[in-house]
Amino acid sequence: MISRDDLNPHLLAAEYAVRGPIVRRARQLEEEGKKIIYCNIGNPQALKQPPLTFLRQMLSLLEYPQLLNHPALLSLYKRDVVGRVRTILDRHPEGIGAYSESSGIAFIREAAAEFITRRDGIPASADHIILTDGASKGAQSVLLALLHSEEDGFMIPVPQYPLYSASLELYGRRQIGYPLDESNRWHLSETALAESHARALAEGTRPLGIVVINPGNPTGGVLSEENIRMVVRFAKGHGLSVIADEVYQDNVYEAGQRFSSFARIMHAMGETGVPLFSLNSVSKGYLGECGHRGGYLELRNVPGDVLAEFVKLQSISLCANVPGQMAVYVMVAPPRPGEESYSSYVEEKEAVLRELREKAEILAKGINSIEGMSLAIPRGAMYAFVRFELPPERGIDVAAMSAEERRAYDRRRDSEYCLALLEQTGICVVQGSGFGQEPGTLHFRTTFLPPRAEIETMVAKLKVFHEQYVRELVEA
C-alpha cells in the first residue's frame, strides 16, 4: 500500500490555508447540522452573489445549441444573446465540447487585447495573450517557466495569497517574503523590498521576480500609481520579472481610488526592459464565476522564443477549458451601448459592486467597535485582514524567543483563536499566519461576500466571542 511518506515531500510541505484544517472542520460541523458562515474564500456565488443574466444565457445556448432551432424557447432569451451565440458558433463551429488551440480561441484573445487597449489606452497583442483555467494556472505557468535551479526564488508579499507560497514549495523553490506596510494602507515600501532582496542574496537565494497583488488579497489595499512606478523601477534595477496579479481590478470601492494596471504604468514610463506577466480572471470582479475557471495571462517585454515556450507549456495541458474561455469573452467583450442587454448588464454589474462596497463598510465599522480589533475599510478586492490583540499567556516569555519560535507561537495562537471562533459561533475565517504576517501581530482574513444580514450577524457574534475569549485568557 502507498503511504503518505511515499508522496512528493514538496507536496507534503505545501500549505494552502484557505482550504486548510479549519475549513475541513467547518464542513464536519455543517454535516452535524451547525450553521456555518463561510468567510474563508473568495467564492462569490457560493455566498449568494447572483450570476449575470447575459453570461448565463449565452453559456446555456452554447452548451446546447439545439435550442437555437426552437423559436418558442428562444423567446426566453434576449435578441443580442442569441445573436452573440450565433456569431460565436460561426467563428468557432466546433462548439464548446472540443479542444481549442493551445493559447485559446483566437477571437477571444483578440477581444482580450481590445479590452486592455480600451482599459489602458495602450497597444496590446492577441499573440501575447494566453487563455488559462483561471488566473491561478497562469501564475503557476510563470513560476514554473522561470524557476530553473534550487537557489531560485520569487519575492512575494507578506501577507500574500497562499497560491504563491504553496506553488513555490511544490516546485522546490524559494520564497522571498517582503512585508506590506499595514500602517500605510498596505502599500509597498522600497526600503522593505531592498532589505528582503539583500537578505535573499545573503542567504544564497537568487531572486528572479516579484509578485504584486493589486487590489490586494488578503489586505484589500489598492496601490497608487507612484507605488507601482516604484516597483517597476525596483524590478528594473535588480533584473526582476513582475507578476501582476490583477484579478480584483473591478473591485475598487473607495471614492477617489482607481485601479492602475502595471501594463499602463510601464507603458507610460517607456519601460520595455522589465518582463511583465499580468493576470485576470472571471472568478472575481462582478462576475464571480469561480466554477468556470476562466482567465488570461498577458505577456509583455518578452521575446518571441520565450513566448513560444509559454505556448508550448500551455499545450501540454492541451488548452484551457472552453466554457471558461467563453466566460472570459463576456468579461472582455460585454454588451455594448445600444444592444438590448446593455442596460440590464450594467445594472446587475453595478448592483454587485455597490453591495460589496456597502458590506465592506458594515464590516469595518463593526470590527472597529470591538475592543482589541482594528480594520481600515477595505479599498478593494473582497477581503479584510483583521488585526486583533490577545493578552500574553502566563509563563510565556516572547522576548526570549527566536524569530522562528515567535512565528510558530503566533501561528499556534491565531489558529487556536480561529478554530475556537468556528466551534463556538460557526464563523469560518482563515488564520493570518496562513497568509504571512509580521512577527508579533495576529490577524485573520475574512471575506465580506456573505449577504449583509450575515455580515451583521457575524460582527455581533464576533464581538461576544472575542470579549469572552480574552476574558478567559486573563483569568487563566
* Residues ≥6 apart with Cβ < 8 Å to 420: 465, 469
304-316 and 134-146 helices, crossing angle to 10°: 120
What would the pLDDT profile of 387-438 be if each residue is shown by its tens digit? 999 988 877 777 788 878 888 888 888 899 999 999 999 999 998 988 888 8
Cα–Cα distance, 343 to 367 (Å, whole number): 36
Distances (CA, A) of 442 to 219, 318, 421: 14, 43, 14
How many structural domains does the chain have? 2
Same domain, 297 and 226: yes
**Residue 274 shares a structural domain with residue 357:** no
Q: Is residue 125 part of a domain?
A: yes
Looking at the domain assignment, is residue 129 inside a domain? yes
- Cα(54)–Cα(43) distance, rounded to whole angstroms? 20
- Does the residue 398 lie in any domain? yes
Residue at 93 is within a domain? no
pLDDT at 185: 87
Asked if residue 118 and residue 22 are part of one domain, the reply reads: no
Whether residue 285 is found in the same domain as residue 151: yes
Half-sphere exposure of 332 (CA within 13 A, CB side): 26
Give the position of cell 482589541.
372
AA letter at 90: D
Half-sphere exposure of 67 toward its Cβ, with a 13 Å CA cutoff? 18
207: cis peptide before it, omega within 30°?
A: no
Please, how many CA atoms are within 13 Å of residue 200, restricted to the half-sphere of its CB? 25
Contact 63, 96 (CB under 8 A): yes
Question: Rounded distance, CA 449 to CA 359, Å?
Answer: 8
Q: What is the DSSP code (8-state) at residue 432?
A: G
Same-domain status, 287 and 422: no
Positive or negative, the Cα torsion across 262, 265, 268, 269? Answer: negative
Angle at 96 between CA 90 and CA 101, to 5 degrees: 85
CATH number of the CATH domain containing 281: 3.40.640.10
Contact, 254 vs 377, CB < 8 A? yes
Do 113 and 27 share a structural domain? no
Neighbours of 91 (CB within 10 A): 11
Regarding whether 351 and 328 lie in a shared domain, the answer is: no
Co-location of 162 and 17 in the same domain: no
The single-letter DSSP state of residue 447 is E
DSSP 147-213: --STTEEEEEEES--THHHHHHHHTT-EEEEEE-BGGGTTB--HHHHHHHHHHHHHTT-EEEEEEEE
- What is the domain extent for residue 471? 4-49+347-475
Nearest 5°: the CA angle 262, 139, 375 is 65
Burial class from Cβ neighbours inside 10 Å (0-12, 13-18, 19+) for residue 107 reads middle
Phi, psi angle pair for 421, to nearest 5°:
-60, -45
**Who's near 38: CB < 8 A, 6+ residues apart?**
26, 46, 47, 428, 450
Q: How far is CA 402 from CA 158, 438, 466, in A?
A: 19, 14, 28
Under a CB-based contact definition with an 8 Å cutoff, are residues 213 and 245 in contact? yes
Is residue 301 domain-resident?
yes
* Residues 310, 410 share a domain: no
| Positive/negative CA dihedral, 134, 318, 55, 127 | positive
Residues 140 and 266 in one domain: yes
**H helix or E strand, kind and range, residue 431:** strand 430-431
Exposure pattern of 287-325 as b/e (b: 16+ CB <10 Å)? bbbbbbbbbbbbbbbbeeeebeebeebbeeeebbbbbbb
Please give the helix or strand (H or E) that residue 135 lies within, else none: helix 134-146
Percent of the chain with pLDDT over 70: 99
Query: Where does a domain end: 332, 359, 379?
Result: 332
- What CATH number does the domain containing 425 carry? 3.90.1150.10
Domain final residue pick, 301, 332, 363: 332
- Beta strands at 383-388 and 295-300: parallel, antiparallel or unpaired: unpaired
Which pLDDT does position 440 carry in this prediction? Answer: 83
Domain boundary among 300, 332, 364: 332
**Shared-domain flag, residues 367 and 410:** yes
Q: Which three cell numbers stand for residue 18?
A: 484557505
> Can you give the pTM of this predicted structure?
0.91
Alpha carbon distance 334, 368 (integer Å) = 38
pLDDT at 18: 62
156: CB partners within 8 A, 6+ apart? 164, 165, 168, 175, 176, 177, 178, 210, 211
Whether residue 414 is contained in a domain is answered as yes
Q: Which residues of 176-206 are buried (b: 16+ CB within 10 A; e: fewer)?
A: bbbbbebeebbbbbeebbeebbeebeeeebe
Residues of the chain with pLDDT under 70: 17-19
* Residue 429, Cβ density class (10 Å: 0-12 exposed, 13-18 middle, ≥19 buried): buried
In-domain check, residue 98: no
Q: Is residue 340 in some structural domain?
A: no
Task: For residues 224 and 328, state if they share a domain.
Answer: yes
